[in-house]
Structure 1
Amino acid sequence: MIALLVTLLSGTPSLASRDSFYPPLNHTTFITNSSLGTYGGIYSAPGDQPSTIGDVYNYCAMPHPHVDTYALPPPVANNSVSAKILYLEYLQRHQRRTPYNLLPGGENQEYNCDSIHPHLFAAPANPGTPPAAVYGQAYSDSSNPFLTTYVKGTCQYPQLTIGGLLDGYQHGRDLRAVYGDELGLIPDSPTDQVWFRSSSAALTQGSAGGVLRGIFPDHEGPIPLHQQASGIDTVNRGFPCSARDRVLSAIQSTAEWNEHLSVTEQLRTRLSTMFNATSSWTSTFDHFADNFQARLCNGYALPCRVEDRSDCVSTEQANEVFRAGDWEWNYWWRRNANATQYIQLVEGLFLGEIVRKLEAVEQGTSDLVYSHNFVHDGDIGPILGALGIKALRWPGMASNIAIEIWQTATTEYYARVLYSGSAIETVHGTLDWIPLTRLIDILKPFLPDDIIAMCN
């Protein structure tokens, strides 16, 4: 145990490096203050290599539990409590990818994905004739008249990039090093003690393949990745709920929301003119931020106007877009008066699944030691909001939440919650060692009593 403590405490992260996770997002001056730049965040990565993982907010590849920075819970580390880890609930966004949002005026650069093969095949559950291992190879046909306002290249939009896949391998290896090799929780190969889940999106499935290979490097054969039917999925807004749009409309009609539109009017007008963007693009910063982030995180440059290749987005403009995106995410999930109801409508059912698993561990009725969920930023954001994160920046690629359950020698259950590798700072304090019942109490207000009635 002493050797383990030395190993895991040697790289305890500094406070300064974590400041980039918690900017002052409570006022729109955060958006307009150009001196803030990226507020210590990173928005670039090589296109065909794994990202460099530090301990700062990195949109391209967020930090995760790593043996060089992982620290045991304080009471365990200082030997005031004897305890062992019983369970890990791990949630992560997919790895980096191409953009969802292509510029309406056309893209001035080609996107190439020849270095990664998105496999698409089905196989019988029982022994039989194996399928051909086909994969989707995107291409551009110059005779397609719609190509003039689209983008040339060999990618789908969105799709996992080779850099994202390589990040996934390393992410998995690092989880194996902490929770397998050091803490002895994750088994050497998949057993009935582990559970893997994803949304129905190819992005999360592809990410799971990379991460799980890193976790189980010697495993041969397929691994089940559980998914709910896409029409009623409890992640990625899979189930129908008309009330979500009504609540979001109310959120985006407040004086604070309109103030942020007012202070960014000049920027939004400029970008709209450059790229022929309509109000659907400029009503939030989601579209522009997504496009710029995906470019920079995969080795591409910021975009230029197709009609004038010298008219390009500047670093200062991109930084303001990113700061505005952070402000919006914090407002959606933390600061607005309807945040609790909005989280219930978007993520309440999935939060209920998580709470039930935590309760089963506490009650001794769970056979699981490790559950890993591959989801989206639109899932990570509301969960962080429910936890009461002190300041919510846009959850970057592979952003992750690790909920650890520990049992003391006196059979008491404690929880800690790590966000991208370190104990999360919240309005409830730092969730580094709290009774498990307290964590459940924090989450329960966000579980809907009757989601069907609420949605209708």
Structure 2
Amino acid sequence: MMFSIYEGLLDMIALFLSVLSGTPSLASRETFYPPLNHTTFITNTSLGTYGGVYHAPTDQASPIREEQNYNYCTMPHPRGDTYSLPPPVADHSVNARLVYLEYLQRHQRRTPYNILPGGENQEYNCDNIHPHLYAAPAAQGTPPATVYGQAYFDPSNPFLISYVNGSCQYPQLTIGGLLDGYQHGRDLRAVYGDQLGLIPDSPDARVWFRSSSSALTQGSAGGVLRGVFPEHTGPIPLHQQAASVDTVDRGFPCSAQNTLLATIQSTPVWNEHLTVTEPLRTRLSTMFNATASWTSTVDHFADNFQARLCNGYDLPCRRQNESDCVTPDQANEIFRAGDWEWNYWWRTNPHAMRYIQLVEGLFIGEIVRKFEAVQQGQSDLVYSHNFVHDGDIGPILGALGIKSLRWPGMASNVAFEIWETSDSQFYARVLYSGSAIETIYGTLDWIPLSALIDILQPFIPDDIISMCRSS
């Protein structure tokens, strides 16, 4: 799973040139594929966000950007005005039609998982969104009251001093995230319904929707599917596996995952990245009373900063001294280090294949079986949509051999398109956040479906129970 030496040299040369020229001027797709194979990517302050976007409004949908840059707050996705047909179909060298879409996406933007240990200096308010919490009988019966969860905090609660005031749960979908979801769904309708005629006008037996057991993915599904089916009334089934054995979001028990992760995070390469980030991690740890669980990776700080900026809030300040604040340069270094860590976990560490097998192999197997059913003419589905997490998108992109992997942002998405030619041959195209994915196998813009299955097949474990018990 390591990049070749040649590819690594090219990345280092590109990075060296960018240092000479200052902050690089990047084309949209370049921002998805930074040179992540060396820790100088983390420490080179001239790179800034490497063309990435980390800002979005508080209570509005994210602005539609002409450029399709890496946008952590709301990743690009297939849109009617930017979507293009596969090259052989577009130039009429092949007569083919789209017969199946497998779509995966992370949930839309949200509040943070990780509240600063020293407490937050700003309130978070979620009064403008209602997370509904109710059950209804499947058959006819008395309908329930449509209750929703309204977070509040009693000022007499002594734990508030080291927490955050406001009206949000952490994490929860924000109104901006919900509005982004509506637009996401409308855009999918424009491409795969209006333009390509694949998605039916209303959900029927040809469509399948799945989420994790998280309220984040369920709430995102409600927003996106409203956009996909704007005229539909009535409930839509959103399939979920039991949380304790779920094949997404690390639902099933597997002690070998943590054992292998500890091995991955003890290599000389990983330790080098800890060394170069140590001054900043120590500084932030002092500012916010963070313990070792916060500083063993940059995940916690990155999550907190991303969720703030992506919902219109400022970077945090120390609660005891509000003139002592995180600077944009410090946040950018955390974001670059986060990208480096994700690339190492799922692409370049020497145990990446086995780690993907342990974490995401069962879900990859489910996807491949759907592809095989289409290939064999045994599928009744034309559209399957999965609402999952960054921890699911990352390993799938790793399995596809993405050229370099930045942290999959909010609503990051993978579209597996299956096309059937006039002579009954099946071809696949894989779009990552709206554009053909660039991988170690080339750009996956038009390959035999069997070749895509061959790429993914090695990541499907033969005996996951035995693998999980081994350590």
State the TM bucket, normalised to the shorter chain. over 0.9
Tell me the CA shift for residue 291 of structure 1.
Answer: 0.1
Q: Deviations over 1:78-133 (max 9, x none)?
A: 01000000000000000000000000000000000000000000000001100000
2:327 alignment partner in structure 1: 314
Which residue of the other structure, out of 257, 264, 287, is the alignment partner of 1:251?
264
Match of 1:355 among 346, 359, 368: 368
Q: Does 1:332 align with 2:345?
A: yes
Distance across 1 between alignment mates of 2:140 and 2:371: 36
Residue 420 of structure 1: CA displacement?
Answer: 0.1
2-structure distance, mates of 1:47, 1:87: 36
- For the Cα contact (< 8 Å) 1:107–1:303, is it kept in 2? yes
Runs of 4+ in 1 over 3 A off after TM superposition: none
Work out the CA distance in 2 between the residues paired with 1:341 and 1:218.
45
Counterpart mapping for 1:253-268 below 5 A? 253-268=266-281
Q: 3-state SS of the aligned residue for 1:264?
A: helix
Partner residue, 2:154:
141
Contact 1:53 1:61 in 2 (8 A): no
1:59 paired to 2:63: no
CA distance in 2, matches of 1:215, 1:295: 28
Cα distance in 2, alignment partners of residues 141 and 380 from structure 1: 38
Equivalences for residues 221-232 of structure 1 within 5 A: 221-232=234-245
TM alignment of 1:424-435, pairs within 5 A: 424-435=437-448
- Which residue is equivalent to 2:4? none
Distance (whole Å) between structure 1 residues aligned to residue 28 and residue 271 of structure 2: 33
**In 2: Cα distance, 1:318 partner to 1:288 partner:** 9
Gaps of 5+ in 2: 1-25
Q: By how many angstroms is 1:53 displaced? A: 3.5
Of the three residues 31, 42, 45, the one matched with 1:34 is 45
Q: Determine which of 115, 122, 135 is the counterpart of 1:109.
A: 122
Match of 1:409 among 422, 435, 439: 422
Q: CA deviation at 1:17?
A: 1.1
Sequence identity (%): 79
Render the CA deviation track for 1:285-328: whole Å, top value 9, x for unaligned.
Answer: 10000000000000000000000000000000000000000000
For the residue of structure 2 that corresponds to 1:231, the secondary structure is helix
SS in 1 for 2:27: helix
Using the size of structure 2 for normalisation, the TM-score is: 0.94
CA distance in 1 between counterparts of 2:365 and 2:442 reads 22
Match among 247, 258, 266 for residue 234 of structure 1: 247
Separation (CA, whole Å) in 1 of partners of 2:194 and 2:119: 49
Are 2:159 and 1:167 equivalent residues in the alignment?
Answer: no
> Cα RMSD (Å) of the superposition?
0.6
Deviates more, 1:367-376 or 1:139-148: 139-148
Whole-angstrom distance in 2 between the partners of 1:381 and 1:29? 22
Select which of 371, 377, 382 maps to 2:390: 377
Q: Are 1:100 and 2:131 matched, yes or no?
A: no
Per-residue Cα deviation, 1:132-164 (whole angstroms, up to 9, x for no partner): 000000001011111110000000000000000
The answer on 1:423 being equivalent to 2:425 is no
- Which residue does the alignment assign to 2:29? 18
* Counterparts of 1:387 and 1:404, CA distance in 2: 14
What's the offset of the Cα at 1:388? 0.2
* 1:452 alignment partner AA: I
Aligned to 2:225: 212
Deviates more, 1:357-366 or 1:47-56: 47-56
Q: CA deviation at 1:448?
A: 0.3
* 1:70 matches 2:83: yes
Please point out which of 381, 391, 400 is paired with 2:413.
Answer: 400
Shift of 1:169: 0.2
Gaps of 5+ in 1: 1-14
* Contact 1:53–1:62 (Cα < 8 Å) also in 2: no
Contact 1:404-1:415 at 8 Å conserved across structures: yes
Q: What is the Cα deviation at residue 234 of structure 1?
A: 0.1
The alpha carbon displacement at 1:52 in A equals 1.9
